[in-house]
Structure formats: structure tokens, C-alpha cells
Chain A
Amino acid sequence: MPAAAALLAAVVIVLARPAREADAATPQPATRGVAADSTAEDPDDAEPVEPPSDTEDGTDVEIEAADSIEAGAMEVEVGAAGHDGSANLQRRRVRFQDRDISADAREGAGDPLAGAVFRGRAFTIGRFTPRWGRGLVAGVPEDPWRARWGVTSPAPRGRSLEGAAIRKGPLELFAGRQSKRGLGGARLYRGAASVGVFANAHGPPLASFALDREDQSSEIAADPAGRWRAETRLERQVGEAQLVARVRGGLPRLGAPTDPKRSTPAQALTLIATRPWSSARASILGAWWRFRPGRVGSRGALAVERELSHHQRLAIGLEEQQGTRREIPRALDGIRQGVWSEWRGGPPGLGLALRNEIWGEGPWVRREVRRSSLAAVELAGPAGSTVRITHGVFRVRSGESLYLAEAESDRLVLRAFTGSGERTRLDVTAPLAEGQARATVGMTATAGRPPRLQWTVDWTRRLSTRRTSPRTGSTRGGGSNPEEDG
């Protein structure tokens, strides 16, 4: 019956009229940076944090921030990070954006986001993640359980490649190395349709046929043995409700055997509906997936967000998860019911956020496995300076992990917690030397262990690479001596 209901809903979505606006997650035919679009987790987002599916249990995840700089700008950032008991890790980042070209380089010992990419109108060189269609062949497919609107899954660094891509007319080629394996691909596209071949040094070639439009994207992939996989994403407007359906089908294996930790479900159905009601918005997600017989999972979630007076916001959600999100069994597999609430508000210059989240493995959120309560205060100071203090407590059963998102200047850190303890974080930003300085100190205190400290300091300065005419105020590009961005 649930499958029939899901199919009925999918039919409604198909027959409904297309959405008026394109979804931000609509895949682009060109190659993209590893995680330039990885906004799946936002510390200001009320929904519970979901780490990438291939994250090792209990480990932190660093995701490239989704911010971008305007054309004609260059940004320089230097910083350091560390924690008690470790040497300081220095980080450096330079990025540049112009009308036709852009560059982004990170360097730093032990920095998981280190790497460089240089993009032009017709080429990409460096570390990037190519993406075709729905990511079945090249790229990272969307996790069917992910609820966030219009956001793709974070692309783990391990799935990016070091190489190059070129585009010439209807032809796109890329080649490089990923996890010490050589791979490459070529595709032709005409309009919204594309057809390509993907070659991997350790597996059979894969063929891809994709269709990318504003309200619909589809991809069919197959290997020489006749194994196939197909996925379609539809977005429709039904009255005031916005509906999204993602359907995936195919055989459990496609091409070369994959790492079970990185495997994606062979069959999946995801339905998401969002409807506004005056100052409120309700979102519903239903998802089912299967890796292979016996390895299935599902998720149902309801979230209601309401804008209150004086820019306050209240969000409440509840959900149930069942089954597995990996092909290999884990201790975490099973039923989880969760309920969360978050309020944000406060007078001008003083922001306050309160949050509570509870997960249980029994009906009605009983037999608690994870709980967190959190408060954050942000004070706005002079000259754009801010002070943000976050304090929270967590209680996580052994074998489980609770993730909290913490924003740093150039990345988002999904920090894993287990056991019982507290987390306090101080985040200070202030103008410094014509740039912006930021310092964070985080302390985690858990039962039976001395408090652990983590810290970061960095300084960022954004410059303009275009000269401004003193008479007309117009700009022209290509100045050899960058000027400060006014």
C-alpha cells in the first residue's frame, strides 16, 4: 500500500504543471567544484544535521562553504587551526573570480579541503567533481533520504578527482585520477539532452543518457553487461504547494564493484511537498530506498516553520527513519523517531536561538538514543564585529553519533558527538587590517574525560581586480594591480 500511494503521488506530480522557478539544485551540464554547491548543512537551518552517507561513524566532516565572491574580486585568507595536543595547522586560501575565469586554491598540512581548481569558460583544471545528469555515472547521486529543499548532497572530497575537463561546442571531455584510479569521460550534448561514455581503469565503461531541464532531470546509465540504473527528478507546482519527486530504479550493481561505504541505493523513491500558509510553511518528505534485497530503508518527515513578529522564527519537526543508509550493516540501523524544535529571535543587535532535539528508537520517541539542547547568543558590535556564544548539551548513546554544524570562515564543520557532555563555542569576528578577522574557540566536555579544546584563527581580505574610474565610477577589468574592494 505505501508503494501504491507513493506511485499515485508521483503520478500527481507528473501531471501537475511545472514549477515556476528552477530549483537551485538543478544539475548543470558543466563540471563543478567538489563542494561548491554543498549547502546541505547550514548552521542557521532548523532541520537536523545529516552528514554525508559515507561518513565514518563518530568522525567530523568538513564541507566547503557555499559562499561565492562577485566577479572581479579576489579573496586572500590565511589562518590556522588546532586543538589541544596537536600542532597548529596552517591554512591558506586564495580565490579569484572574473567574468570568464575563476580560481580557488587551498593549502595547508592536514587540511581535508586542500586543493586547487582553475576554471575557465571552456575548461576546468585541478580538483573537481564532474557531474552528469543525476550523478549516476559521473558525480554523486542525491541521497534519497535527504530532505533539504533544492540542495544536493555534499560531495565528499574522496569523490573528487584531480584532472582536467574541457568543453568545446557540444563536446565535453574530462580525465583525471580519483582515489589513485584513472578515469575519464566524454559526452555530447544538444540542448537539454546529453549522451556520454565514462571509462574507469578498474571497471567496465558506462554509458549515460541524460536530460536536464528546469523542472525535470533524468539519466539512464548502463554498462556492457546490460546492467542499468535510471533516475528522474520532477518538480511541479500544485496550487500553492511545490512538489518534488525523485525516482530511481535499476540493478543493485552498475559497472565495477563499489565501496560498500559509498554505495548508493539501486532503487529509491522520494517525495517532497512544501506548502506555504500565510506566515508558515510546511514541508513533508517521504522516502524509501533499497540497496539490494534485505537492505532497505525509509524516512518520513514533517517540518513546520513559522515566521513570527519582529523577525522571529519558530520551527518544529518530527520524523521517523527505518532501515539502513549503507549497503553494509551497521549498529545504527533500525527505527529512529525524532522530534526537534528551534526558535530564533531577539531584538536588533542581539540574536538568540534555542533548540531542542530528541531521538528515540521506540514508539513516541521512547528509549532515547540521542538528545541535544542548545542555545546561541549573537551580539552585533561596532564596525561589523560580532560575538557569538553557543552552548549546548548532548546525551548520545554508545554507538550513535550526534552531529552539530559549526560554521568557520571558509567551511562548515559537521562535528560528531557521542556520550554525555557539553559543547561551548565562542566565535568572534572583527575588522582588522582592512580585512576581517575571525577567531573561534570550542570546548567539549564529556563524562570521564578532560575538556577538549579546538580553535581557529583566520584573516580574510577581499580585493577588487577592477579599476574604478575616478570620474565616471565605471569599472574595467584586468587591472594588473589589484585595488581594495571599496
Chain B
Amino acid sequence: MRALVRALALVGVLAPSPGRGQDFAPVVPGALSGGAASLLDDGLPAASDGVSLESGITRWFGLDALATRHLALGAGWRGVRVAAGVSQTGDPELGWTSFGAAAGGATRASPGLPGPPGAGGGYELGAGAWARAGERVVLHASAPQILLHSEAPPLPRGFELGATMDLDDATLWLAVRSAPRGQPVPPDHELGVALRLAGVRAWALVRDRPARAGIGLSARVRAIGIAAAVESHPVLGETTRLALILGQGEAP
């Protein structure tokens, strides 16, 4: 049995993170949208109130057998943010199921789900926070795996510090992500830029260790949004993502 439960302690009120987990990785970079997936994945709540439902699929490195489907529901009211989600990676027999729960100002965990025979359950606990450092700058910190219990998570993740600058029709972000616990390697960096073009938002990002890049597009019509992204890896191949967002979300 293998279950992974993630609970993220959230503090603050804002935005974005370019963090990338595996179970609830938001398709739209966190720097552009603090939706339910960002809350679950990085512990970074949205800046505005509202309800959103996000469904996404990520095909990691071109492997159909390693695709992650996630469903995340988020709600915000008077500064309080909550989110919950479920994700399935790979086939039910061979992959794993994760539950996530997050709340601004509080932490809670959920029981694990039955998984493949022979595997154990586990949970991870993390936290994130962001704050405005000026009219156009937002700083954030995300520690998605402060506590790990039992089985190692599918994707170890490190502590992240980042800054996002909003330039009206353009957004720039930079993040430094330390190596996951126990890995004595240097941190990697991510630099991204997003442009707003007539109802559509396009973004591009580059990362190091190893050098790689990605692009994405998102569009929204009233309460319905759609986003797609592709990221290349020099060794492992391409990762493609697609998401459908209902309700509150990034507005191109």
C-alpha cells in the first residue's frame, strides 16, 4: 500500500511560485497564478478570493505510463484559503495515489489511500509563504517537504526562494531551488518571462542543472480557462501538460 498525503501549511496571502512537484504541479507557473494546484504544490495561496476547480494531466518525459492526472479544488473567502486535491500517477496497479490538503494559516493531513500491494503509506508536510516587497515585486518561499514520514516521496523537492516582478503586460520571475534533503548538489535556478497578448498569456522559462527550457500558453473565456505547456529535458525528453480551470484563476 502506498499513499502519499501532502499537507501544506500556508501563511500569507499571495502569489506565485514556479515550483514543480509531481502530484499537483500547476500547469500555469505559480508566478502567474496562485490557484488550487499552487496551494497544494507549493503552499502558496491565491491573492484573491474565489472558488476554482482545476483538472490537469501531465505526461512526464513522454512516458504515457508515467502520466499524472490531478483534480484540485480551491476556495478563498476573506483571506482564508483552502484547497484539496487528488492525483493519480501511472496505472492504478503500478502507480500511486496522492491526496493533498492545504489551508492558509492552518495545517491538516488526510489519511492515505490504498495503493499497490507491498508499498507503505506515508505523508509529507510543507509550508509556503509570500509577501509583497513593493508595488511590483513579490517574494516567496516554499518548503514542500519539511516533514517526511515513511516512504520517500516520488519526487524529492527542495526549498525554494523566488521573486516575481510584474511589469503590466509582462511578468518576470526568478527562483532558486535548493537540492532536496540529502543531496549534496548545488541548487538549480529558474528564470521565466510571461507576456499578455490579446486575451492570451504566453510564457517561457529556462532552468539549469541541466539546461532546459519550456513554453506555455493559457487563455480564459469568462470562468473557463485552459492552459498547455511543454518543457524539454536534454536527457529525459519532453514533458507536456494540459489543464482545464473553472472559476477563479489566472486572467490573461
Contact = CB atoms under 8 A, between A and B. Distances in A.
B161 interface: yes
A393 B158 contact: yes
A312 B134 CA distance: 9
Contact of B139 (A354, A393, A446): A354
A6 interface: no
Contacts of A447: 181-184
B133 A343 contact: yes
A438 to B, nearest CB: 20
A90 to B, nearest CB: 28
Given A377-B11, A419-B184, A420-B179, A391 B133 contact: no
Interface in A353-374: 354, 356, 368, 371, 373
Contacts, number: 90
A171 interface: no
A373 B181 CA distance: 13
Contacts of B186: 368, 371, 395
Nearest to A395: B184
Contact of A393 (B9, B12, B105, B178): B178
Given A373-B176, A375-B143, A308 B161 contact: no
Contacts of B182: 420-421, 445-448
A377 B14 CA distance: 14
B159 interface: yes
A375 B143 CA distance: 9
Contact of A421 (B130, B134, B146, B181): B181
A373 B133 contact: no
B139 A343 contact: yes
A345 B133 contact: yes
A447 B178 CA distance: 14
A354 B182 CA distance: 22
B11 A350 contact: yes
Contact of B133 (A314, A392, A393): A314
Nearest to B9: A389
A392 B159 contact: yes
A53 interface: no
B187 A371 contact: yes
Given A375-B141, A377-B129, A424 B146 contact: yes
A422 interface: yes
B179 A312 contact: no
B127 A389 contact: yes
Given A373-B178, A420-B183, A447-B182, A391 B134 contact: no
B139 to A, nearest CB: 6
A352 interface: yes
Given A420-B182, A447-B183, A447-B184, A345 B131 contact: yes
Contacts of B179: 393, 395, 420
SS class, residues of chain A in contact with chain B: strand
Contact of B161 (A356, A368, A395, A422): A356
A11 interface: no
Residue in B132, B176, B184, B187 whose Cβ sees the most chain A Cβ within 10 Å: B184
B159 A393 contact: yes
A8 interface: no
B134 A308 contact: yes
Interface in B126-166: 127, 129-134, 139, 141, 143, 146-147, 158-159, 161
A392 B143 CA distance: 9
A309 interface: yes
A9 interface: no
A41 B159 CA distance: 25
Nearest to B130: A352
A312 B130 CA distance: 14
Interface string B8-34: 010111000000000000000000000
Contact of B143 (A343, A391, A420): A391
Contacts of A7: none
Nearest to A379: B11
A346 B131 contact: yes
Nearest to B145: A422
Contacts of B134: 308-309, 312
Contacts of B12: 346, 350, 352, 377
Residue in A309, A350, A373 whose Cβ sees the most chain B Cβ within 10 Å: A373
Contacts of B13: 347
A265 B133 CA distance: 43
Residue in B131, B139, B179, B182 whose Cβ sees the most chain A Cβ within 10 Å: B131
In the A-B complex, the 3 residue pairs with the closest CB atoms: A375-B141, A447-B182, A420-B184
24 contacts: A308-B134, A312-B133, A314-B133, A343-B139, A346-B12, A347-B13, A350-B131, A352-B12, A352-B131, A352-B139, A354-B141, A368-B186, A373-B159, A373-B176, A373-B187, A375-B141, A375-B159, A379-B11, A389-B11, A420-B183, A421-B182, A446-B182, A447-B182, A447-B183
Given A356-B161, A373-B161, A389-B9, 10 more contacts: A347-B131, A368-B186, A375-B159, A379-B105, A389-B11, A391-B146, A393-B178, A395-B179, A395-B184, A420-B183
